[in-house]
Amino acid sequence: MDYIHEPKLTKGKAFYDHRGVFVPLSLTSHLTWIQSNISVNPKRLTLRGLHFQLPPFAQSKLIKVIDGGIIDFVVDLRKRSDKYLDVQMFDMEPGDELYVPREFAHGFLTTKDNTIIQYLVDNTYEPKSEGSIVWTKFLPLLQKFNKLPDFSVHDITINDKDLVTKNFND
């Protein structure tokens, strides 16, 4: 399979019954996933990101919504690209998967309480290589979020480290 250079959303399926939910994860990829992470978000309007890893520790990610819902967003950090700093947003529900290539910053905002996200990465995490961009640098994100019912910036649950830009100079 050829390397995928752009984010790619795949609408998936979640199977519900009286026992709960079953959500299969697609692993058809050229990549070797080396770590699986689970993000449990009790509150609607929890914001995580924008995060990235600098080379040689850059990571591709496969994001999967297990339960709940998110607005997932990615920013192209490839300086050689004509899409440099473009923002793409994806409304994701249970079963949906988003492939995020290396050299993209990634984040999401939960749209429902008790949202659970699984994501796979293809490279080792290195704290010194970690980067972040404060989401408010990108007007399209605020415009999208403002369309949510009962949205207020003051209601966002966010980690202090996501309020600081790190390893990004543009």
Closest to 141 in 3D by CA, of 97, 102, 85: 85
Residues paired with residue 142 on neighbouring β-strands, in sequence order: none
Count CB atoms within 10 A of the CB of residue 57.
Answer: 16
Residues with Cβ within 8 Å of 142's Cβ and at least 6 positions away in sequence, in order, are: 136, 153
Is 18 considered catalytic here? no
* pLDDT tens for each residue of the chain, 170 residues long: 445 788 999 898 888 899 988 888 877 667 789 999 999 999 999 999 999 999 999 999 999 999 999 999 999 999 999 999 999 999 999 999 999 999 999 999 999 999 999 999 999 999 999 999 999 888 888 888 888 888 888 999 999 999 999 998 86
51 is an active site residue: yes
What global pTM score does this model have? 0.89
Catalytic one among 106, 119, 125, 154? 119
Residue 9: count other Cβ atoms within 10 Å of its Cβ. 15
Asked whether 7 and 88 are in contact (CB, 8 A), the reply is yes
Residue holding tokens 């019954």?
Answer: 17
